[in-house]
Structure 1
Amino acid sequence: MSDGQERAWAELSPRYLLEVQRDAAATSILPGSGIDPGSVYGRAAPLVVEIGSGQGHAIVAAAAANPGTDFLAVEVFRAGLARTMLDADRAGLRNLRLVEANAPEVLEHLLPEASVDEVWVFFPDPWHKAKHHKRRLVQEAFSPLVARALRDGGVLRLATDWEDYALQMRAVMADAVEFDPEFDTATATTGDTAGWAPRFEGRVMTAFERKGIAKGREIRDLVYRRRDRA
């Protein structure tokens, strides 16, 4: 991290960063060590979780625009978290918290079941080489973890500029029995550009999205709603 980011980490972590119990790895979450969002934020409010928040541009803008909603940024890279805290502090945000942790463990262990209103995954690492596809976040094991954290009727929002990853996301979620798509799948076929959700108006244009557009890649959004529990 830069000197400024180091200072931000030291000075702002007590305000914004969640202290969590670790398992074996530095970014792991100890099973059974969940949080109480009401205690963390000091109120009862809708909760939005962004997975892979990067430098925080999207979630800081969203938190500033929606003071009645609480936000949690999940990221493993300290430099990005430090930048997020700097921008949050400049904006005077009190409805944003950050956690340095692996996303699947946050969904499985840190967040109480049915505690989240929306989960955002915007422009996750595409691991574009075929041999690395197994490292992608949105795999078969991902949807049950999101379903656990989301309340009934909660929303999962996905976005990517990599067509094959978008198709993989759609295929994975098509088999997710806990979710219904919030877009028209009637005409969706492999390799098409139909059956995608409109661009999420609540997502600010970030460097990742601009880069994808500049390279001529189409941005694809997908939206899924959590079915009611039996």
Structure 2
Amino acid sequence: MPEDLPEPAPTFRTKPVSFVRRSGRMSEAQERAWSELAPFYLFDVPRDVASTSVHADARLVPADVYRREAPLTVEIGSGQGHAIVAAATAHPERDFLAVEVFRAGLARTMLDADRAGARNLRLVEANAPEVLETLLPEASADEVWVFFPDPWHKSRHNKRRLVKEGFGAIAGRALRDGGVLRLATDWEDYALQMREVLDAEPEFERAFDGDWAPRFDGRVMTAFERKGLNKGREIRDLAYRRVARV
């Protein structure tokens, strides 16, 4: 913990998180990613009460981290990094931030980014709402992506879903006026919940016509998405625009 940040109070989180952190042995290459690539790609987050928490006084200032001024895309739950590495490689004029809690996925993202020569990508190992609520400066993101978040499909676990009432304020804080929130899921009831929640949030307005947004052409087809299609689940996209702050 940096010396200028106060020690957090020794308490536990009071709100449920949208993930269960899995442990697992990493490969040699993944271990190497942490030792050799993390110093460049991984933003060292000062912690609060948990290993994936964010200290309330911690800040990630994009211009300082990327050493330039450029549009910033933030992907929440970047998984193995396939979508964001492809996007960062295709758009060197933009900056990208991957937010994930699973170390193996972050390691794979670093390895693929290094192989692709993507220097406009950084990673954060942290609980996504805390990144959007405090770590990023307000209105610093041009786009926020939430692709295939954990559906927590059992009704008793729905409270752990990322996109629920109040998410508009969380994502809307990080997005600039006119910025875009893009979402996709292969679970119909979660798609309906996302749409119902975001239609009601004052921070956003629809950026699509009809029932669903067209498939975002900036999202590469991943094994995860293909698995959902092979199981007969329809992929539903949504897109919302951040309304101007009053």
TM-score normalised according to structure 1 size: 0.95
The equivalent residue for 1:164 is 189
Paired positions, count? 221
Partner of residue 206, structure 1: 222
C-alpha distance in structure 1 between counterparts of 2:168 and 2:127, whole Å? 15
Matches of 2:222 and 2:156 in 1, distance apart? 28
Q: Aligned to 1:131, what secondary structure does the other structure show?
A: helix
Alignment correspondent of 1:179:
204
Shift of 1:82: 0.1
Residue in structure 1 matching 2:62, options 14, 28, 37: 37
Structure 1 runs (4+) greater than 2 angstroms displaced: none
Identity of aligned residues (%): 74
Unaligned runs of 5+ in 2: 1-25
Deviation, 1:44, is: 0.1
Residue 7 of structure 1 deviates from its aligned partner by 1.1
| CA offsets 1:93-122 (integer angstroms, 9 cap, x no match) | 110000000000000111000000000000
Q: Which amino acid aligns with 2:241?
A: R
Report the AA paired with residue 130 of structure 1: S
Is 1:216 aligned with 2:232? yes
Of 89, 96, 99, which residue of structure 1 is paired with 2:124?
A: 99
Q: Give deviations 1:190-217, integer Å, cap 9, x for gaps.
A: xxxxx10000000000111101100011
Amino acid at match of 2:167: F
Helix, strand or coil for the counterpart of 1:173?
helix
Q: How does 1:1-230 map to 2 (within 5 A)?
A: 1-185=26-210, 195-230=211-246
User: Aligned-pair distance for 1:156?
Assistant: 0.1
For the residues of structure 2 that align with 1:137 and 1:83, how far apart are their CA atoms? 23
Q: Distance in 1 between matches of 2:176 and 2:195?
A: 21
Q: Give distance in 2, aligned partners of 1:24 and 1:3.
A: 30
- What is the SS of the residue equivalent to 2:177? strand
- How far apart, in 1, do the equivalents of 2:71 and 2:106 lie? 22
Aligned partner of 1:223: which letter?
A: A
Q: Secondary structure at the match of 1:121?
A: strand
Residue identity matched to 1:198: P
Offset, 1:184: 2.0
Alpha-carbon distance, 1:141 to partner: 2.2
**CA-CA distance at 1:40 after TM superposition:** 0.2
1:118-150 Cα deviation digits (max 9, x unpaired): 000000011111111111100112110100000
Determine the C-alpha separation between the residues in 2 that align with 1:169 and 1:113: 23
Q: RMSD in angstroms over aligned alpha carbons?
A: 0.7
2:21 aligns to what? none
- In the alignment, the residues of structure 2 paired with residue 137 and residue 36 of structure 1 have an alpha-carbon distance, to the nearest angstrom, of 24
Which amino acid in 1 is paired with 2:245? R
SS of 2:118's partner is coil
Counterpart for residue 192 of structure 1: none
